[in-house]
Structure 1
Amino acid sequence: MSGISILRAQVDDLRQLIRRHEYLYYVLDRPEITDAEFDTLYQRLQTLETQHPELITPDSPTQRVGGRPVEGFASVQHKAAMLSLDNAYNAEELREFEARIKRALPGERFTYVVEPKVDGLSVALLYEGGRLVRGATRGDGRYGEDVTQNLMTVRGIPRYLHGPLAACAALEVRGEIFIWRQAFEKLNRELEAEGEEPFANPRNAAAGSVRQKDPRITEVRRLDIFIYGVSYAEPDPFTEHWQTMGQLLEAGFLLDPQDRKNTLERYRRRCADIDGVIQAYLEIEAARDEIGCDCDGVVVKVDAIEQQRRLGSTTHHPRWAVAYKFPARQATSIIRKIDVNVGRTGALTPTALLDPVEIAGATISRATLHNADEIERLDIREGDTVLIERAGDVIPHILRVIQEKRPPDSTPFCFPGQCPVCNAQAFRPEGEVVSRCTNSACLARLKESLLHFGARRAMDIEHLGEAVVEQLVDRKLVRELADLYRLDVATLAELERLAQKSATNLHNAIQGSKGRGLSRLLFALGIRYVGEHVATILARHYGSMDRLEQAPEEELAEIFGIGPRIAQSVALYFRQPENRRQIEQLREVGVSMKEAGVTAEPRPLAGKTFVLTGGLEGLTRDEAKELIVRVGGRVTSTVSKKTDFVVVGKDPGSKFDDAKRLGVPTLDEVAFKELVSRGIESKK
């Protein structure tokens, strides 16, 4: 393999890994790695692309933002793209930010605004004539989820504006939804008391609360908002960011949620130069515990709006702003024991049980060790004193062992070759880092599978928490997923901490989950590599479990958004007799095996291959791809004799020339829309 081929493979692997973690973070709100680890991956990709610009592609994570919205709320388009921020981790990198903007606008003077970087869920609030008409999550940066009713319960968001801004025909305000640390701790105590899974961190709590189906639940979670700017105004009265914040204050926003007196200056600073920015950073870092919510740095912005416009943005971040991150907080503790837990897929995950230690206001008593390779790499042993950091003030992470404090009788940790619960053989596939229990009937796997099956984004079975699942399995009331639907109220009422009313509520929730639809069921089944997004693609493509079960691996692999690895996993799942039996059992107890609103009839353009080139005026590239998939077609990136249609937009590239050379039919935007419209109509 040539050097450039090796580099291309490395870049592709990095992109795939970053996309996965973006999806976990932005869409599912379940990050698996620290912010620092994600930033390292992202910086590595940026470096490779900078050194080899010929490897840059339009869909690279460095050229776009975020993940797609999940199902359940309407998708809405933002007035202006919600971009990410570039990061600086020290004063040198901050000064490089200043050098870049001075090179872009030579000879000009800059004033800066510094404000806390609150770690929460970004939202866009649209006001028309001073009235809040829409609130949306960030989503993929261009489209987000409409969560207006839930955001109306957030106390820092005014439904009506006051002052001059109330006269704006349209005004889109940006802010960060978050939960106070005290409210977060209270919420988790309540969830645990109800047998529910607590939130891993305040950001997840804020995101999960905003996405509740019932706004009353959002309201009692006591969320708040930290406003940080205006993205669109009609007319636009703003000349400075500082002035913008002042007018938002006058309009009724609580710019500093910790200070109910609306004191703008408390945590925001206006600085004449970078030295002033660094001083403001140090002052805010010193006060971060007083802020009362998770804050992982400051955001530095060029104050003058006209300079912001001329500096512009990349497809990933504005050039006129940078996130200057706080260093991760660290402490030392002793590992008293290394536990190995079993997940629903059989994955054996080691966890370090620590002497409790406080970091950034949170008591840390455990930290994930990820896998056997990580334990070996750091040479982690029971009894070791270790350095822990809480990166982003959220996720505890072991940095290293303090070797000089290692006990003299210390011995290396031996990762188990058997499941610690059922003693079945543990198997580690070649090329993977995770060992797995091979016993599909393992009770630990069953418990985790039941919790996943009933989770909010799966079958959404309220009240099916850890305490209930433990009893159902330990009392041998449930031995497979379908057994849940065979439980009656009397049986549930015999469980500890479940009175008649609670048992009735749980029974109703279980029975009510039968109609959730195919996409939720596919996600709930826990098929490897099938997350919510993939489950939705498969459900929309096939419409029913019957059609999906019969789909060959080659056909699955050609679906846009699936690919060979997922296709292989899905096909393998349906080839296993025990999985087919499980699905049949669920079918027999009345669980829906179809996706609402999706026909199971053959698709009119099934198997047709499309290539897109140039810009479409009425559609984004992703929207065009979705239309093609909807009518059964697939999209590829290169033109060949096997291509059925090349869709030609404005300023087409070399693919248009390839189509003419190979005699492949071409479609302009109008013809393309007519073709897919006929396909959609023929399905009705």
Structure 2
Amino acid sequence: MRRRLALLLWAVSLPLFAADCPDWTAVRAERELAALHARLSAWNAAYRREGTSPVSDAVYDQAGARLDAWRNCFPDLAREARPSTAGPAGELVHPVPQAGLAKLDDGAAVRAWLARRDDVWLQPKVDGVAVTLVYEGGRLVRAISRGDGRRGQDWTDRARGLPAVPERLPASAPERLVLQGELYRRLDDHVQAEAGSAGARGDVVGWLARERLDAARAARIGLFVWGWPDGPSTMAERLAGLEALGFPDTARWSRPVGDLDAVRARREAWYRGPLPFATDGVVLKQGRRPGIAARRAEPPRWAAAWKHPPREALAEVRGVAFPVGRTGRITPLLHLVPVELDGRTLRRVSVGSLERWEALDIRPGDRVVVALAGLTIPRLEGVAWRAAERAAVTPPGPDAHHRLSCWHPRPGCEGQFLARLAWLSGERALDIPGVGPGTWRALVAAGRVDGLLDWLALSPAALVTAEGIGEVRAARLASAFAAARSRPFAAWLAALGPPPGWESGAAPGWSALAARSPAEWRALPGVGAVRAEALGDFFSHPEVRRLAARLAEAGIAGFRPRQR
């Protein structure tokens, strides 16, 4: 059940964008609309061919709403009003259109829908691949993919290989039977709120696309029948009839509901509890509905969907930054036009690595898909579509930063130097209370810290010259800095940021460590050739040796030369 009447969904979402008209020339507007139009058409084509899409329904709906909003902003542009959903020739006509469902946005909409109806039932909105099954004389004669709801691909041969789709029905079956349902991947104790759809729909599509579907995979495809257009007039009779015909899932997962509280409770239970399939919401259905002759290729009035909270959102990239970490690793960061997702406002998202950014080539103006990892951390899912006009972005050179670069805040080194300071005061090194990135940023900006250890000599009078540090805080900082002198040698060594592996066979003082050759490092447990070379480079580096000498002058234990 996919593309739930895109026109209606886009119209519902349109007010979100109506007041957000970009400041574009007519030429650029034509190019930007064409780019989005082409992407939506490609998504539609992929869905018709394969029954799935590279993006979620929520992202598809948001993209469609964005296209309509831009058309309102530039009404003089002449272009096809909607992306094409035309499919390839040779498709089969659905005996009854698969019309999709109208969407209820929230509890208030559900309450209003319920107020006009009685005998309402609730079913999970199974996230799978929609199909129409046609039986004649008790035999399966047609299986048709959803396609555009009117026509779809011939899936008959594929369906006959699925244990969940009976090839023969009991003798009590009607002479001609049309069923509509969802082919889904069987899952074990799937919790939608935690795992999302887990790629279940894509798995089914991939399996059905194989030339030969093996028995093990075929058995993992289930069938949920959600429509019997010419079936009995009441829901109870339809459920009993489907079970007798060999389609038990429908009765098992259908519940009568009387009010919003009942709907909300069951929806929440299905969202957070274990199910044998992925879902993307619930479907409310009136028990009695019109017969097959009254069906149209439009959302029925007797059914509606209330989807689960979206797990993804479409976001516009405002800018691209390239923060450098303590070890010189560059982690591109996308600054976003603020977007709401699951009650949170997302303003930035990490790309993960410079290599991934280069592969995706994300620029300001591009639209990306973002999600929440673990419901808290923004995560980049991919690029939805690219801006027609590509802004110039110049990342740092891949060799500009490394583990032994940026010991001072010189131009281009500010980020890595501040990351070194933040590590030094963090809990894995000196663990200095009340000192974080903001403190270091203020001291560097005031010119008080130009090297990794300059803070050792700062008095309260010098500290108050930094923005945001008053006399009381300056006294506390001076006290914390003084207390750090008594931290053990291992903490001070960690503060300098040596490569991993220095802990193996750690010597009692600096002199012994600095005297080790790469071969001696490599002889230690867990230290390979690459790490041994990195350790040798670190302990022999001139800047590191100067820092060690300064710590020796300051009387820090472990750095003073051993007495003969």
TM-score, normalised to structure 2's length?
Answer: 0.47
> With CA pairs under 8 Å and 6+ residues apart, which has the higher RCO, 1 or 2?
2
TM-score, normalised to structure 1's length?
Answer: 0.39
Give 1 or 2 for the bigger CA radius of gyration: 2
